[in-house]
Structure 1
Amino acid sequence: MKKILLIDDSDTYIWSLRKYLQHRGYPVKTACTLNEARAAIQEEIPLVICCDLDLPDGSGMDFLDEVRAADKELPFILVSCHDKDDYEQEARRRGATLCMDKMKGQLVQDKLVEYAYRQLSGEKTPTFHKLLFVYTEDTSAEVLRAAMLQKGFDLILVSSIEEAKRRIFEDKEIELILCNLELPDGTAMELFHTLRRVAGMFQMKNPPVRLLPFFILTENNDLATEYEYRHEGVNDYITAPVNIPELIRRVLFFVE
């Protein structure tokens, strides 16, 4: 299996990215310099490249030119702490797939998973949906995420209301929210009403604040409880054990 190539001279940054990607099942090759990156590519063409803009022996932009001279399609994500306005237009002109803020580590992780999935799918632009799953510790979240990823759904896992709100406002590509009933810092309905209230205040004109479909995942199969939440405006109420094909069918109703 081809590897994701990470090029960065920060041991801490590259360790964090590699750990996340390997945990998601993607093999990773790392390089601290452009010379190491060149050697890695000669050994094997990578699945995706994620490269820092500034490296000890040169510029990620120049390395992008080298890669594009040999391969016009290989996903190449350029990351940097610099303001994107200073370099993104030039990077796009030279063939960068994406330019990202290096400090938004979780978004970088998500994008690497997305492009790796697309490469492995064998299709040019396969359907890929990003969902936010707000879960409790006793939920088999990783098992559900692995099963959903095989079907083209990337579950972003967060374990608190505060973290969920931050991700929703930061990531404009999230299409739907799955949420367990009880959370460490509140309930699913508290998050639901907070998001609806904020969306109403902005009248949905602010792109990060939009009325996302909201599903509840729970072991509580009491019909009265389900009716109560649906009456409040929750889009769907799914009881455990989760049937993956049925969950996908319900999600697609709202995101396609």
Structure 2
Amino acid sequence: MTDHSKLNRRRFLQGSAVAAGGLLLPASVLAACGDGVPSYDEGSGTLLKLARPDKPITLSTVGDPIGNGLAHESGTLQILNWVDYLNPDVLARFEETYGVKTAVTTYDTEEIALNKLRSGAFQPDLIIGLTDSVLSRLVAAELLQPLNHSYLSNFSNVIEGLRDPFYDLGAQYTVPYIIYSTGIGYRSDMGVDTSYFESGNGWDILWDSAYSGRLGILDSYRDVIGSVLHRNGEDVNTGDKKVLDAVLEDLQEMSAATNPKIDILAYT
């Protein structure tokens, strides 16, 4: 029987299917992530190629993965994660059970995470939750180290379609963290007109002035833009300027009609 009472950093990373410097990445269902056209990244001064399902990309290789068969590391496991994603009690029990020290640095937006990484003052072992639209910027800025797949003992358990993802062909830098969708939640005791949801386009409720001051939307450009594109029957990965200009107008109309609260607390 294997003794799991002590777990050092490399064993943790192996079990999590990610190596030091890797990125745990959500594959969003509703995400306006570009249409394969170039995008300029001001932080690195690099012209980027944005990925989409029908236009996959192979990211440039920056540096080398860690070597094979290295001894297990000790020390503190440094984690960069969205705020409120990990219950402190869970981390405390994890540390007590496996004899590991952890330090979690949080971010509220992806731009904040990028700025923390670009400053050079913080070099995490594990990054959780950044999206594929940020990945090419991290690679261009040489902020990620390629993965050594010999340490990823659980990689075979990943959904087959995500073992060679369109945003990182060959899974050089990432393993998937979560697949999620974007939707609307409401309280059944607050007199919400559910006919919106029965009509087939529940997104329209966000523009109904009867709910002014009673609505909230997620502080995430991917989810918000993707939701409007979905409402309008457009490709959520479009790069068409006219279509995106129409999204801007729709969002301005939403703001005027319902003045929704904008925060990061709507994750469920």
With the shorter chain as reference, the TM-score category is: under 0.3
Output the TM-score relative to the length of structure 2.
0.27
The structure that is strand-richer by fraction is 1
Query: Which structure's relative contact order is higher, taking Cα pairs within 8 Å and 6+ residues apart?
Result: 2
The structure that is helix-richer by fraction is 1
